[in-house]
Structure 1
Amino acid sequence: MSAQSPFLPQGVPPPPNTGNEQLGQGAPSPFIHEEKPAFPIHRRDDRASSFLSFLDPILGPFGKAFDSMAERRKALDLPFPGTTDSLQREVKGTLLTNFFFDGAKADLTKALSINPIFQVSHGFSLGGTTKDGMAPSTYNLNVVYGSDNWFLQGGCDDGGSVQMRANSEWAPGHTSKIQGNLTKGTQGSFVQLEHDYKGSDHAANFKTLNPSPTDGSGIYIVNYIQSLTKNFALGLETIYQRQTADTQDAMVGYMGKWTSTDKNSIGTFQFQSQGVLNATYWQRLTDKVDVAGDFNVIAAAGKREATSTLGAKYDFRMSTFRAQIDSNFKVSSQLETRLAPTFAFTVGGEIDHWSSLARFGVGISIESPSSDIPFDPTGPQPTPPNVPM
């Protein structure tokens, strides 16, 4: 009989001398019970809020200041000023400059789908004129695809030129664009990369033309426009041009846009540091009548020139009439009328009183929907997608 241990109470047997009784079936586990630990365990499961969260002690104050500024800007409820490319959209849509043509022109369009947009068009032109004389007859094929997130366009002409354009809205407010043209000769071929960012009260754009990653040549344009009040926005544009390694140039420009409270009047200005000023004004007189004015001044070294243009647009139920006159005594007008839901006829003329020259143009446009598309002129039309442009 073993002696009683002085460290144990009376009647308590001493522990066994071996561990054999701790082994075998039904024996207690020699390890800590994982489901019911002997002491409390506080497991840490920390996760980073972002990849650069370890820089929060350094960047945190800047982030808080930025968030505070964003909240104050949001409280101002400033409107979106539009992109810099659409700064003069209303003026360009009213004046005849971007719509006039001479000679004969015909466009045949086959719509295969409305949503998404998918159409094929054939274009013919004959008898046009240029500064060097008569322009040759041309034919071009154009294919367009458009959805809510994509816009794809490709075309070619009888001269061997190939054009392409692609826009993608890959995130809210972010649209990336690429545009290219390939010709037979050394002149005329180009590639252009562009990205648009649209905020709540501002817009930014980056554009590069013929960039070369080897020597850094090309044209690079960065612009930004910000709404300062509910009616006025101010912007800045920077242009860097590097044709060769030894030839480079940089320019800075400023732009502004004023919009009336009722959105019926818009005035813009653009100024380049080399001495170029452009100012426009657009006014909506009625729901069907718009007027616009364009004023240009060039005060560069060795050149002094100023021109102004006034124009008006009348929208009727089935036709649109544009008239224009400029400071060079050039008067022009154009009438586009839709004789049927799928047939449009255009006629226009221009008289240059200063040089005693006249031009005349006539064109037709035929749209043929696919047999799979239900077409009812009296019924509601299908809703096209919001194509990123």
Structure 2
Amino acid sequence: MELDQPSKQQAISELLTQNPISSRLLDVYSAFRERREILGLSNPGTVEGIGKEVQRDVFLNNLSFSGLRAELTKAFSIAPLFQVSHSLAMGSQLSPPYTYNALYGSPKVFLQGSLDNDFQFSGRFNYRWTQALVSKTSAQLTSQGNMISLENDYTGADFSASLKAVNPSLLDGGVTGMVMASYLQSVTSKLSLGVDAFWTRPASQYPPELNVSYAARYKAEDWMACGQIVPDRGVLEGSYWRKLSEKVETGININLAFAGIGPGGPMGGAQKEGSVTIGAKYDFRTTSFRAQIDNQGKVGCLMEKMIAPPIRVTFSAEIDHKVNAAKLGLAVAIEAADPDMMEPTEAQQSGSETGSIPF
């Protein structure tokens, strides 16, 4: 007698749930899940952003620049987010003279593309499958070479997992490119532990290389400490962040490299290198000031001033005493939007889910 489809599904479900082995595994998993819920653990973030309070909020990483810059942004809507911008730069070897950028964002989709005067293109496409799973794709097409990145991020209630591939290929007689996998788990309400694996193979004639790092993060109410270690490379990095007041934050980062000690280190004896960077951030009513100094004699500062709601001025300065060089930068950004368009859109946004664009 042939069973219909619902009967087959019911039989399979009973086999899995009434089986002594599977039933025992389900009981263990249920007990483990209940204990995690009792602890009230929160999501710890990602391994990549384990020191975000120091690297992104205090330090000048990816913020300092040189030369003159001007940026005009026009917002056409807020929900969904859609805006275009024109950027002009002069006196900088890193920034192209002109860049056109377009951005679109909704709770499920994020699109961003930029094209400069040399027709070099970079774009990002993110898609949210569920509230926990987001796929991210980025591509860069330049005269120096092309790059594509594929990433999947899963954000659980008390953990984060990520799998990323950069320039993956099967056309060279084997798997080439870079693959990165990371996992960060909350152990207590303040402590989280994680692991990060980095696999690389530039070409099929080279053997693959795998480096595994271990991370730990402790976040209190007004301070944070984190660290990462790569045993195969002999690399140790630690960060400490402290919120002194509502407007003042400080941070320190220490990076030690003992080249030649680990199995993956170069031959020829151990070499010790290290860097220490200290920074601070001051937030005033309409101004934000950042400053940092490292043990190599490099001093930098960045000041952002909101002159009026649509106009923001940024001043950047850096002095490298080791090479006797200095860099100065000044940027003006103007964000324009139609007031008649903004008011109904904001009202619509207040009733929808905010902050859910998969950037």
Q: TM-score range by the shorter chain?
A: 0.7 to 0.9
Q: Structure 2 vs 1, CA of residues 46 and 380 (structure 1 numbering), >3 Å: closer, same or farther?
A: closer
Match of 1:315 among 278, 283, 288: 283
Measured in 2, the distance between the counterparts of 1:339 and 1:88 equals 31
Q: Determine the structure 2 residue equivalent to 1:89.
A: 52
Instruction: State the shift of 1:380 in Å.
Output: 9.5
Identity among equivalent positions (%) equals 33
Measured in 2, the distance between the counterparts of 1:137 and 1:45 equals 62
**Residue 113 of structure 2 is aligned to residue 154 of structure 1:** yes
Q: Determine the structure 2 residue equivalent to 1:126.
A: 90
TM-score by length of 1: 0.80
Does 1 or 2 have the higher relative contact order (CA < 8 Å, sep 6+)?
2
Q: Determine the structure 2 residue equivalent to 1:46.
A: 7
* Equivalent residues in 2 for 1:167-182, closer than 5 Å: 167-182=126-141
Q: Determine the structure 2 residue equivalent to 1:257.
A: 217
Measured in 1, the distance between the counterparts of 2:285 and 2:212 equals 44
* Equivalent residues in 2 for 1:68-107, closer than 5 Å: 68-91=31-54, 92-107=56-71
Instruction: State the shift of 1:245 in Å.
Output: 2.4
**Residue 33 of structure 2 is aligned to residue 65 of structure 1:** no
SS in 2 for 1:304: strand
Aligned residues: 336
TM-score by length of 2: 0.86
Q: Determine the structure 1 residue equivalent to 2:197.
A: 238
Q: Which one is further off, 305-314 or 48-57?
A: 48-57
SS in 2 for 1:66: helix
- Structure with a larger share of its residues in helix: 2
**Residue 188 of structure 2 is aligned to residue 229 of structure 1:** yes
Deviation track 1:100-135 (CA, whole Å, cap 9, x = no partner) reads 111111111000111111000111111025xxxxx5
Match of 2:158 among 185, 193, 201: 201
Instruction: State the AA in 1 paired with 2:310.
Output: T
Instruction: State the AA in 1 paired with 2:195.
Output: L
- Structure with a larger share of its residues in strand: 2
**Residue 300 of structure 2 is aligned to residue 335 of structure 1:** no
Instruction: State the shift of 1:55 in Å.
Output: 4.9
Measured in 2, the distance between the counterparts of 1:356 and 1:51 equals 73
Instruction: State the AA in 2 paired with 1:269.
Output: G
Instruction: State the shift of 1:369 in Å.
Output: 0.6
Q: Structure 2 vs 1, CA of residues 51 and 94 (structure 1 numbering), >3 Å: closer, same or farther?
A: farther
Instruction: State the shift of 1:335 in Å.
Output: 1.2
Superposed CA RMSD: 2.6
Contact 1:115 1:385 in 2 (8 A): no
Q: Determine the structure 2 residue equivalent to 1:266.
A: 224
Measured in 1, the distance between the counterparts of 2:37 and 2:280 equals 38
Q: Structure 2 vs 1, CA of residues 380 and 316 (structure 1 numbering), >3 Å: closer, same or farther?
A: farther
Instruction: State the shift of 1:299 in Å.
Output: 1.4
Measured in 1, the distance between the counterparts of 2:11 and 2:198 equals 35
Structure 1 unmatched runs, 5+ = 1-42, 130-134
Instruction: State the AA in 2 paired with 1:169.
Output: R
Deviation track 1:274-296 (CA, whole Å, cap 9, x = no partner) reads 11221111111111111111111
SS in 1 for 2:27: helix
Instruction: State the shift of 1:222 in Å.
Output: 1.0
Deviation track 1:294-318 (CA, whole Å, cap 9, x = no partner) reads 1111212264311111111111111
Contact 2:47 2:182 in 1 (8 A): yes
Structure 2 unmatched runs, 5+ = 261-265
Q: Determine the structure 1 residue equivalent to 2:263.
A: none
**Residue 357 of structure 2 is aligned to residue 387 of structure 1:** yes
Contact 2:96 2:116 in 1 (8 A): no
* Equivalent residues in 2 for 1:17-56, closer than 5 Å: 46=7, 48=9, 55-56=16-17
Contact 1:127 1:137 in 2 (8 A): no
Q: Structure 2 vs 1, CA of residues 375 and 323 (structure 1 numbering), >3 Å: closer, same or farther?
A: farther
Measured in 2, the distance between the counterparts of 1:48 and 1:79 equals 35
Runs of 4+ in structure 1 off by over 4 angstroms are: 49-56, 379-385
Measured in 1, the distance between the counterparts of 2:349 and 2:158 equals 32
Contact 2:78 2:342 in 1 (8 A): no
Which structure has the greater CA radius of gyration? 1
Instruction: State the shift of 1:45 in Å.
Output: 6.8
Instruction: State the shift of 1:97 in Å.
Output: 2.7
Q: Structure 2 vs 1, CA of residues 52 and 216 (structure 1 numbering), >3 Å: closer, same or farther?
A: farther
Q: Which one is further off, 73-82 or 47-56?
A: 47-56
SS in 1 for 2:64: coil
Instruction: State the shift of 1:47 in Å.
Output: 5.9
Instruction: State the AA in 1 paired with 2:159.
Output: H
Q: Determine the structure 2 residue equivalent to 1:23.
A: none
